[in-house]
Amino acid sequence: MPNPLSHLFCVAPMIDWTDKHCRYFHRLLSQHALLYTEMITTGAILFGDRERFLSVNPVEHPIALQLGGADPKALAECASIGESYGYDEINMNVGCPSDRVQSGKFGACLMAEPNLVGDCIAAMQAKVKIPVTVKTRIGIDDSAEKDFLWRFIEIVKTAGCQTFIIHARKAWLKGLSPKENREIPPLRYEIAAALKKDFSDLEIILNGGILTLEEGLQHLESFDGIMLGRAAYHNPYLLSEVDAKIFASSTPQKTRQEIIHKLIPYCEQQMQQGTPLHAITRHILGLWHGEPGARKIRQVLSDHKISETEKLSFLLSLN
């Protein structure tokens, strides 16, 4: 199924981070970046608080729902539910190496079962009209990257997937924590580039280790798009340059204070609904990254002795 969404610049799905409050904040910074949910398991959707996991603010679009699971029927049902909630894309996680995810037999360990992944993709595509994509690694454990990855991509492509987000590191399923799996396996951009060359008909998005938009622009010479994760989260103001630098938008870049002024009404609305302010402000602590006074701002927003009303006033007072 062709993908009408632009993947030129994406913000990665990050567990415990890219929740709906984070996405609202990120959308204030960039109108065009494609945002992703945290990975949400099929069990959480089918048996949990569906509204809490899936509710979408209209301003979040374009937005993709990332699913974690390995049962084609369950994934298809969840994809259909996600489409009914208004998501623009369904993404299947075939890259997370955590022990908890492995115990559920999904995530990166599914790279060893490309036929099952293909069945999952086909089942989801049969149930939805929106694009279904895959986020994966370049290999697992001692696999020979090229042979292993090329076979995986060929099988999943044959099942109908046209867009692959490639985290250009292997995943080690034993012996490394998720954090170590983001840092210790070496980045192999050349493997991802060779994949794009050999599968030129596919949309290949590069993920892993990209720290700046300047680096990203260089990668766009070889790939169809880039995905930033922790760099965008810890230094979110870089997102304010995405529309102009990546999408050639003429819309003026917002100042940090303009962003905060737009965020305050959202904070007030959420607080009236019982959301603690910290659930929102925890995502903005990096907005002043590298700026004078950044440490004081983080301290004030993180101080539980300061009331929520005082914190809102403090934010409004910043110049």
Strand, helix or coil for residue 164: strand
By C-alpha distance, which of 294, 293, 181 is closest to 234?
A: 294
Cβ neighbours, 10 Å, residue 131? 22
Catalytic residue annotation: 96
Instruction: Identify whether 62 is preceded by a cis peptide bond (ω within 30 of 0).
Output: yes
Q: Is the dihedral of CA 194, 197, 200, 205 positive or negative?
A: positive
User: Which long-range CB contacts under 8 A does 14-20 form with residues at least 24 apart?
Assistant: 14/38, 14/229, 14/230, 14/233, 15/39, 15/96, 17/233, 17/283, 18/233, 20/55, 20/56, 20/57, 20/60
Name the β-bridge partners of 67. 40, 92
Query: Helices 308-317 and 294-302, interaxial angle, to 10°?
Result: 160
